[in-house]
Amino acid sequence: MAASKRCNVSSENLTVNDVKTPKIDINGKVDLIIQSKKHANDVFDVLEYLQSEKEKNVVCAIDGCTKLFSTLLERGELYVGKLPKEELLIGGDRSADEKYCMFMRHRYNSCLELLLEHISHESYQIKESALCALMQFASMEGKFPLQDLDWSEHYSFPRELIQAVVERLLSQDEDMALLISRFQKYMDMEDVRYYVMSSVRDNVGRVMDKTKGVSPARTGNNVFTLLSNINMPSQESELTNYLVKQEGQPAEHKRTFERLWLGFLKYKLPSNMYKKVLVILHDSILPHISNPTLMIDFLTAAYDVGGAISLLALNGLFVLIHQHNLDYPDFYKKLYSLLEPSVFHVKYRARFFHLANLFLSSTHLPVYLVAAFAKRLSRLALTAPPAVLLMVLPFICNLIRRHPACRVLIHRPKACDDPYLMEEEDPSQCHALESSLWEIQTLQKHYHPDVATAAMVINKPLSQQEDAISELLELSTYELMERDLKHKQSKTVPLEFDPATQLLQGSGGVGVLGLNFSLE
Amino acid sequence: MGKPPKKKNLADKVRKTKTSTEIKNNPFEVKINRKKFDILGRKSKHDVGLPGVSRSKAINKRKETLLKEYKTKDKANKFIDKRFGEYDTKMDPEEKILQRFSMERQRTQDKKDMYNLNEEEELTHYGQSLSEMEKLNDMVDSDDDADEKGVLSAELTASHFGGGGLLRKKTQGEKDNGGNQRAKSRQELIEELILKSKQEKRERQNQKEESQVLTEKLDQDWKSIQGLLAHKNAPKADRLEEEDKPKLDEYDMMVRELGFEMKAQPSEKMKTPEEVAREERERLQKLEADRLRRMMGDVVEDCTKTQAHMSADDLNDGFILDGDEKPTLAYQDGKWNINKEGAKIEGDEDEGGGEGESGEEESGGEEEEEGSGEDSHSDLDSEQESEGGEEEEEEEGEKDEVPATKSQLSEEERKAQAEAAKGELPYTFKAPESYSDLKGLLQGHPADHQCIILARTQKCNHPSLAVGNKLKLQKLFGFLLEYVGELASRSPPELSTIDKMITQLYGLCQLFPEAASKAMQTTLVDSAHRMEEILEVKGRAAFPQLDMLIYLKITALLFPTSDFRHPVTTPALLYISQALTKCPVMSLEDVTSGLVLCCLAVEYVSFSKRFCPELINFLLGVLHLAVQDKTSTGYSVVPPFRQNGKVSDLLVLSDPESSQTWSKKTLPLSATQTLTLTTDLDTDHYRLSAVATCMDLLKHCSSLYRELTSYSHIFQPITTLLSKHLPIKTYPAALQDLHGEILATISGSLTSRPLLVFQKKKPIPLKLFTPKIVEVLDYGKKRGNTKEEREKERLNHKYKKEFKGALREIRKDTRFLAREKLNEVMGRDAERKRKVKELFGSLATQEGEWKALKRRKNSRH
């Protein structure tokens, strides 16, 4: 018994040793190298660990490297300036110190290369460690520049390093979303963001040129993730957070940001990317662009695409019209043509109707236009689900309230036929004002009690107060169902008095289901 | 020796010295509360008061309570006077003294009793004084039975001996009673006595009767057991004896039979068939009117009315009257006429009979053992005989029927089989406590048996039988629903079993509408919630499974679908709508599910003719799947369908020739889950069937929505599709006919557009100057309108009054105490003064004496 126990213990010890050894080894070696120049050659061992298969070893090695080279950078033991070739080093007539610095600089460079490779590693942990190490090096390099400080620069920033990192991040082969979100922490710093933006611009330009304007999906995704993660500071005074101490020029930042986006959007995007961009456009792009009117081209193009993309472009256009005096010809005509049966079913329904409500809230609109909108909406309401109807009906009523001249739509003592032309694209030609909203009358027979009640409103003169539709915008069928159940329950539940004996029975014999389906 | 120690309270003095009438007549004592108004019929309690009297009363009361408490404050010990009657206020002091004296005497006497030959001592018998007994015995005996044995009740003696004497000595408690009784007059006592003795007599008699009955019963029991015993010992002799025994007098038997026979009771007049039919029709008409009213939704809340299906005669015993299924017991051409449906009800009867039989078997098992071969002689057998007779009758009836028709013969066979099967099933079931219980109960039985089990469970646990049963059955509905869902989700789904269970579900639902609706709602909402969650994550969801479809259908069977707002059917319709708008059609199974949902939607709105846009959208989408050329269409489909995509050719025929061999048949419901179509021909046939179903539904819709104002706009895309894009030429003739029919219906209905104008408002009436007369029904103060408000007002008022009273009392108490304390202090001071004076006085005399002595001495000198 005792023997076996000891055996177990010893085997455990062995495994522990196995695991621990590399870590201790690396740490010891790093310490040795830092302590004296004699052990300089141990750096090869550390770099070897960096190429190891085991995830743990690699992570340890990355840590070790970070420590080692940070210290060396701090001490100034890395060669500064243009580095001669390794082969030349041996023969050169330099002092030993100088040689050592050069040697270390070479090792440092190869370490950087290895780390950059690791950014594309399969394991996320290694990716993350590598990224952190690189950024650490970047910050150290910023403080202790490896280039000669010449006359042209007041400060130095490891531009090449950042560019290399960005290039890796915008990989064409895999989705880097996770790592990019990790990278976001560094992008909070002003200078990093600035250089990242400029290097992304270069990179995108290069990739797009290579693929002839069609962006590969992966890269596109990565670029978009990176871009959408760029949080521009809302105020200029906030430029305080730097990786390397320096003075900032917020205007320059804005310009870079703008050029970056314009550069990205210039290329042909897949439609889902288009949608993603449009969703965040008004919120996180437009406010940070120095000259938002430059986006007009992009937005008008998007608005003309049709379908969901048009709906989404509406938001950006609204910002431009509202804040930047954009004059969009035939805007309402276009808006009118966006009203399709599918508009009630798409995901961005709430956003669209919110904006449409804003656009149509002006009391200076011509009556024919408002009437056309009301008529078209009510015609489309014949295909809408109940949750939408509960929003659309008050919407139409609000339109009529705002424009009392539209009252004829629901109150016309003269008899007439329906002259409305559904196919007509131009709201001024569709004769909506000569029609009536019979569709709403039809909806009074809707199966859902709330919808029927809402449609009943047109039977009486409308009240002055507008209905609030903001909380109805996002109503879903399930919420409607819940609302029904919360409804005050009457004491007794009415029951069917026809006794049921069969599954397929209907009112008076076999039901419709029974006629068409059998119990099999 | 100053003033008198305490000034007597004036009020006390008045009260003590004068009688009540004197006080009342003294105008200085009486305080009259002036009334502002004289109100007729109002009795005022407080118009005259005697403040002096009431004050002295209050002071006295305080002296007895508060002062005593004050005096004993901080004193732990308590003095209890144990002398007889010390705390008895009802006793006169003289009486008290007398009693004490006599008790003292007795105590001293008892000790010397033995040797005391004093003639004053009374002679006793059984502890009673002999002389007294002689006087009273007659009276008691006169209306008492011999078994009284001359024992007098304690009360009796007590009253006659004046509540004391020797008997009383031992029980302390009773003494007080005696004292109390003393206050009553003799007359009353006598009356009470008589009453008590009568009561006692009655009780005795009752007891006697009871014991007699018990004895008789015991005798009888003994006899029956004796018979057995004797049978074992001497069977022959006993048998003879027994044969003798039953030869009761025939007359006696008759008399007894007549005595026990139920008295004829007046019954309701038998209704003629016409009357019954008319009542049934009226009932249905009323229900229909109710349904219409609910459909309009104008009288939404009228829940005060009782349950719609309660008839006046309903005993709420779960018996459901359904007119058409009720077998009428009638003879036709001299034969017993049994309806076809009679089978079911007979089954029920059989069950009842069976239960009864089993019960009898238990009770009379011994007898059967005893005399199975012999003719029945036990009196218990009479019931059995009658039962048997009935059965025989039934059998006869059946036998008569057998040659009548062949179909009924098969019916008989089936019944016989069912009978045999039922024999194996137990008759009582415990109500399942959980779903697994129910599953365990039903599993392994064929569908028919499952129904029988459910019916029996329901009967055994009827709410009228035990308190908890209602809850159990309410739960049963939920479990059954769950079970149905499980049956439907098995593969292949056991739909025929579900079909049979509908009756049970309906019955339970009628019994417990609330529980049923709650269970149904929960099912629907849960499923809708699941779908919503999937929608939020993925943006689209799969069609509901077959169990949900079945639930929706059951909902339509149990609850009225035509109501304007119904707690179950409205959510159910919303669920259908959610499924029809959010679930994309990816396969033929999805098409089938969607069509089932459409059928359900049509059924839901068929009576109320309500408009369901999703239904039309979906049907349009399904037909669009069958269109070959999807490029330039004059209509647009609505999501979940797409104008063109990879699954938008689901219903396009792969080979137009296959329509030649197609024949219309109904689709199986199981096709919503799994569809196995091996050949292209099968698939094409299935496609055609789906299209046919879709067209049939369209036909229904087109006639259903004929009255809607926007009829033509609603059906415009469908007309375009049907007339221009659907490859109708390649379809079989039946479909072509249907197609023509629909188009004709749609084009045939020219919708008139009514004027769209506001409803005329009722003109606001001019102001009138005649006074408005409001009838006042109850006079007096009226605060608050509702009962609760008034109650609250009343309580508030009472509380205020009590609070004020309590405050006043407390103030008076403190004042009283302060006065007492002051008195105490004054008393103490006076005492001290007196003592000091005394001392000074004595000293002065001493001094005087001493001086006098001195003087005398001086004078001597």
ipTM for this prediction: 0.73
Residues of chain B short of pLDDT 50, as ranges, are 1-6, 137-151, 162-181, 234-242, 299-311, 314, 318-409
Sort out which chain A residues have CB atoms less than 8 A from B541's CB and list them. Answer: none
The whole-number pLDDT of residue B114 equals 60
Sort out which chain B residues have CB atoms less than 8 A from A511's CB and list them. Answer: 556, 599, 603
Given a contact cutoff of 8 angstroms between Cβ atoms, the answer to whether B157 and B166 are in contact is no
The whole-number pLDDT of residue B299 equals 46
Whether the CB of B642 is below 8 Å from some CB of chain A: the reply is no
Whether the CB of B573 is below 8 Å from some CB of chain A: the reply is yes
Whether the CB of A504 is below 8 Å from some CB of chain B: the reply is yes
Sort out which chain A residues have CB atoms less than 8 A from B344's CB and list them. Answer: none
**Cβ A513–B603 below 8 Å, yes or no?**
yes
Given B503, B559, B564, which is nearest A501 (Cβ)?
A: B503
Burial, A121: exposed, middle or buried (Cβ in 10 Å; 0-12, 13-18, 19+)?
A: middle
Tally Cβ neighbours within 10 Å of residue B859: 7
Given B558, B567, B599, which is nearest A513 (Cβ)?
A: B599
Mean pLDDT lowest among A39-48, A493-502, B530-539: A39-48
CB contacts < 8 A (A, B): 259
Best of A378, A456, A497, A515 to disrupt the B interface (most B CBs within 10 Å) is: A497
Q: How far is A401 from chain B (nearest CA, A)?
A: 15
**How far is the C-alpha of B244 from the C-alpha of B238, rounded, in Å?**
10
Q: How far is B266 from chain A (nearest CA, A)?
A: 33
**Cβ A382–B301 below 8 Å, yes or no?**
no
Given B502, B599, B606, which is nearest A516 (Cβ)?
A: B599
Best of A345, A516, A518 to disrupt the B interface (most B CBs within 10 Å) is: A516
Collect all residues with Cβ–Cβ distance below 8 Å to B530 and sequence separation of at least 6: none
**How far is the C-alpha of A250 from the C-alpha of A248, rounded, in Å?**
6
Strands (E) across B628-697 are located at 667-668
**How far is the C-alpha of A286 from the C-alpha of A288, rounded, in Å?**
5
Q: What does the radius of gyration of chain A's CA atoms come to, in whole angstroms?
A: 34
Q: SS3 of A88, please? A: helix
Sort out which chain A residues have CB atoms less than 8 A from B305's CB and list them. Answer: 492
Best of B616, B710, B750, B751 to disrupt the A interface (most A CBs within 10 Å) is: B710
Q: Enumerate residues 97 to 126 of chain A having a beta carbon within 8 A of any beta carbon in chain B.
A: none
The whole-number pLDDT of residue B376 equals 41
**Cα distances (Å, whole numbers) of residue B336 to B272, B400, B401, B591:** 18, 8, 8, 53
Q: Judging by DSSP bridges, how do beta strands B335-337 and B31-32 pair with one another?
A: unpaired
**How far is the C-alpha of B740 from the C-alpha of B726, rounded, in Å?**
12
Tokens found for residue A467: 């209905």
Expressed in percent and rounded to 5, the helix, strand and coil fractions of chain A are 65, 0, 30
A290 phi/psi in degrees, rounded to 5: -70, -35
**How far is the C-alpha of B504 from the C-alpha of A481, rounded, in Å?**
28
Q: Enumerate residues 355 to 394 of chain A having a beta carbon within 8 A of any beta carbon in chain B.
A: 379, 382-386
Please provide the average confidence, as pLDDT, over all residues in chain A: 74
User: Shortest CA distance to A296 belongs to which of A279, A273, A313, A274?
Assistant: A313
Q: Enumerate residues 5 to 64 of chain B having a beta carbon within 8 A of any beta carbon in chain A.
A: none
Q: Enumerate residues 450 to 469 of chain A having a beta carbon within 8 A of any beta carbon in chain B.
A: 452, 458-461
Q: Judging by DSSP bridges, how do beta strands B667-668 and A517-518 pair with one another?
A: parallel
More confident residue, B593 or A283: B593
Whether the CB of A486 is below 8 Å from some CB of chain B: the reply is no
Sort out which chain B residues have CB atoms less than 8 A from A340's CB and list them. Answer: 636
Q: Enumerate residues 325 to 364 of chain B having a beta carbon within 8 A of any beta carbon in chain A.
A: 325
Tokens found for residue B190: 């006598």
User: Shortest CA distance to B276 belongs to which of B311, B310, B309?
Assistant: B311
Each residue of A137-153: b (16+ CB within 10 Å) or e? bbbbbbeebbeeeeeee
Sort out which chain A residues have CB atoms less than 8 A from B560's CB and list them. Answer: 494-497
Residue range B573-622, pLDDT digits in tens: 999 998 888 888 888 888 888 999 999 898 888 888 888 988 998 998 88
Given a contact cutoff of 8 angstroms between Cβ atoms, the answer to whether A294 and A262 are in contact is yes
Residue range B627-668, pLDDT digits in tens: 887 776 778 888 778 877 777 788 888 887 877 788 877 888
**How far is the C-alpha of B347 from the C-alpha of B756, rounded, in Å?**
61
**Cα distances (Å, whole numbers) of residue B488 to A505, A520, B521, B675, B853:** 17, 11, 19, 15, 137
Q: SS3 of A365, please? A: coil
Tally Cβ neighbours within 10 Å of residue B26: 13
Each residue of A29-51: b (16+ CB within 10 Å) or e? bbeebeeeeebbebbeebbebbe
**How far is the C-alpha of A107 from the C-alpha of A388, rounded, in Å?**
66
Q: Which amino acid belongs to residue B326?
A: K
More confident residue, A172 or A388: A388
**Cβ A519–B297 below 8 Å, yes or no?**
no
**Cβ A512–B550 below 8 Å, yes or no?**
no
The whole-number pLDDT of residue B401 equals 42
Given B509, B556, B571, which is nearest A484 (Cβ)?
A: B571
Given a contact cutoff of 8 angstroms between Cβ atoms, the answer to whether A419 and A431 are in contact is yes
Collect all residues with Cβ–Cβ distance below 8 Å to A363 and sequence separation of at least 6: A402, A403
Measured torsion, CA atoms of residues A66, A70, A73, A79, in degrees rounded to the nearest 10: -10
Q: How far is A231 from chain B (nearest CA, A)?
A: 27
Burial, B130: exposed, middle or buried (Cβ in 10 Å; 0-12, 13-18, 19+)?
A: exposed
**Cβ A413–B612 below 8 Å, yes or no?**
no
Collect all residues with Cβ–Cβ distance below 8 Å to B568 and sequence separation of at least 6: A493, B517, B520, B521, B524, B555, B558, B559
The whole-number pLDDT of residue B398 equals 41
DSSP H or E stretch at residue B125: strand B124-125
Whether the CB of B684 is below 8 Å from some CB of chain A: the reply is no
Whether the CB of A477 is below 8 Å from some CB of chain B: the reply is yes
Given a contact cutoff of 8 angstroms between Cβ atoms, the answer to whether B477 and B505 are in contact is yes
Whether the CB of B624 is below 8 Å from some CB of chain A: the reply is no
**How far is the C-alpha of A459 from the C-alpha of B761, rounded, in Å?**
10
Given B297, B502, B638, which is nearest A500 (Cβ)?
A: B502
Q: Judging by DSSP bridges, how do beta strands A509-510 and A517-518 pair with one another?
A: unpaired
Given B322, B607, B609, which is nearest A499 (Cβ)?
A: B322
Sort out which chain A residues have CB atoms less than 8 A from B297's CB and list them. Answer: 449, 452
**Cβ B574–A507 below 8 Å, yes or no?**
no
Q: What pTM value is reported for the model?
A: 0.59
**How far is the C-alpha of A36 from the C-alpha of A403, rounded, in Å?**
87
**How far is the C-alpha of B770 from the C-alpha of B687, rounded, in Å?**
77
Given a contact cutoff of 8 angstroms between Cβ atoms, the answer to whether B182 and B91 are in contact is no
